[in-house]
Structure formats: C-alpha cells, structure tokens
Structure 1
Amino acid sequence: MDGFATFITGIEQWAWIGWLVLIALFLVIEMMTLDFTFLMLSFGSAVGLITDLVGLPLWAQVIIAAAAAALFIFFLRPPLLHRLRRGEDPTKSNVAALIGLRGTALQDITKISGQVKLSNGDTWTARSLDGTPIIEGSRVAVAEISGATAIVRPVIE
C-alpha cells in the first residue's frame, strides 16, 4: 500500500502540469472547432489549476473543475454564441434559397424528367414531388433539391 500512496502523492504534487496540459489541449481543439465548448472546458481546467495551487486534494480538484466546466457550458457559452451569431446575415443562400421558389414548367414534368424555369431566371431539370404529372406552362414551387434536379410540386393560384 505504501507504493500506491507514494504514487498518488506524486500525482498530486505534479497535478498542476496536468491542468496546464489540459488547458492547452482544450484551447487547441477550440481553435479548430470554434464552438466555445472546449473553451469552457479550458476554463474549467483553469479552475482546477487554481484549486491545485490552493492546495486541495486531487479528487476535490477534479470535482470542482468538472462542476465549473459544466456551469460555464450551461451559463456562459449560450450568451457568447448569441453574441457571436448576432451579426450573421439571415438571408438564405445556395440550395436553401431555392426551396419554396416559384417557377413555370417549360415541359411536362413527371416523376423521372422535366424542366422548369424558376422566378430567379435559372432553368433546372425537374421531377414531380409525388410523381403526379405536371403539364407544360403550369406554375410550380420547389419542394427540395436533389443534386442538379429541382423536385417540384404544382401551385394552385
């Protein structure tokens, strides 16, 4: 038992290095993810480092660091994410901008083929959403995009 006690004492004596390594590791991961989760874990590890410097036992350091990280994740991260995203452009782009867009069938649209001209001026190959044929000249709306094909549904105006 004496060897195990010596081992634990050694770990507790050098725990501050472990906390520094965790802080650095979490910060590096945060730089790659930019999600604030690992930043909060890094803050929790900093609290663990402080508890080590105060002289608390290792088990207390781990519990306090975990509790601090959880508090940071639940209470500090959401407002930070909100502030980060408040300047985002809410305008839909790419494929998301095409969903719901209206258009006109340039040729009959079936479950396997067709062509549509959208209100933004683009011409797309098209398929009927539910397989019902849509005749040329009918008004349609884009329900989804599958590759380079617009899946459309008829619009009754």
Structure 2
Amino acid sequence: MMNWIWLGAVVAFGVLEAATAALVSIWFVGGAAVALLASFLGAALWLQIALFLAVSVGILAAVRPLIKRANAKTVPTNLDRVIGCTARVTEEIDNEAGTGAVYVEGKTWTARSSDGTVLPIGTRVIAERMEGVKLYVKPEPISSTRQS
C-alpha cells in the first residue's frame, strides 16, 4: 500500500513542480522517490518517512545556494537606465489633456508631470518614476541647469 502512496507523492510533487515557474517542490520529488525505493525494499514505515524527510531537506540544502546565486544576477531594465536621468520635453506635458513626451537616453517616452504642472517643449526634467510605459517627471532644479 505504501508503494502506491509514495508513487502518488512522486507524481503529485512532480506535477506541482512542472506547473510552477519556480522551484517549489523538486526536493519533495527526490524525497518521495527515495521513500518509494525503501518501500519496495521492505523498509519500515518510520524509516520511509525518515528517508523522505532527510532526502527532501538534503536536496533543499543543496539547491538553495544555487537558486540564490542564480537570482542574484539582475538584468538592467529600461527603468534602471532612465530613473534619475535628465530628459528634454519634446511634446508639452499636460496631465489633464493626456499629452506629453520626453527624450531620454536615446529614446522618446510618453511622459506625465509628477506634480501635475504643465511643462512646455524644451523644458529639462528629471525622470522620477515609471508607471507602465509612462515616465513621471519633474522640472530640473534651476541650480543644476546649464547656462548658455
């Protein structure tokens, strides 16, 4: 009877793992597989459970550092590149009219004013945040603008 239970556990944890995008149950698949093998060999129930737990914890301990290392590599996104950058208004920014665009880092972005003020073409602004594909900007402080 335990053979069927452990086999069902292997299948259930395997299906759960296949259905998710992250490692959530792979360690239980290994633990259940070892417990299934122990069951076939006639091991006592307490030993099957102990093997299931020990192997599951062992696989988790072995895989966790690899997952952390893989997740540590961050790929810069457009958000990382433009937030905090100075931009130039290329289309008047008027939140009420739903208009506005800025040119920053070689690209034109749909833009809105962070504080709701209308910003005319040519105004130098700083990108504060992004929501969806819109940059929210504020006018660049006067002290940091270049004098011509």
TM-score, length basis structure 2: 0.68
Letter in 2 for 1:142: A
1:26 equivalent to 2:13? Answer yes
For residues 7-156 of structure 1, what are the structure 2 equivalents within 5 Å? Answer: 14-52=1-39, 53-57=41-45, 61-62=48-49, 64-66=51-53, 68-73=55-60, 75-82=61-68, 84=70, 90-93=74-77, 97-112=81-96, 113-156=98-141
CA RMSD, Structure 1 to Structure 2 (Å): 3.1
Check conservation: 2:100, 2:110, Cα contact below 8 A.
yes
**How many angstroms apart in 2 are the aligned matches of 1:130 and 1:147?**
18
Gaps of at least 5 residues in structure 2 are none
Q: 1:131 to 1:84 in 2, by over 3 A?
A: same
Check conservation: 1:103, 1:116, Cα contact below 8 A.
no
Shift in Å at residue 22 of structure 1? Answer: 1.4
**How many angstroms apart in 2 are the aligned matches of 1:30 and 1:96?**
32
Check conservation: 1:36, 1:77, Cα contact below 8 A.
no
Letter in 1 for 2:44: L
Letter in 2 for 1:37: V
**How many angstroms apart in 1 are the aligned matches of 2:93 and 2:42?**
74
Share of identical aligned residues, percent? 26
Shift in Å at residue 134 of structure 1? Answer: 4.0
Q: 1:33 to 1:97 in 2, by over 3 A?
A: farther
Letter in 2 for 1:61: Q
TM-score, length basis structure 1: 0.65
**How many angstroms apart in 1 are the aligned matches of 2:127 and 2:117?**
15
Q: 1:54 to 1:155 in 2, by over 3 A?
A: farther
Shift in Å at residue 109 of structure 1? Answer: 3.2
Aligned residue pairs total 140
Gaps of at least 5 residues in structure 1 are 1-13
**How many angstroms apart in 2 are the aligned matches of 1:153 and 1:124?**
14
SS at match of 1:105: strand
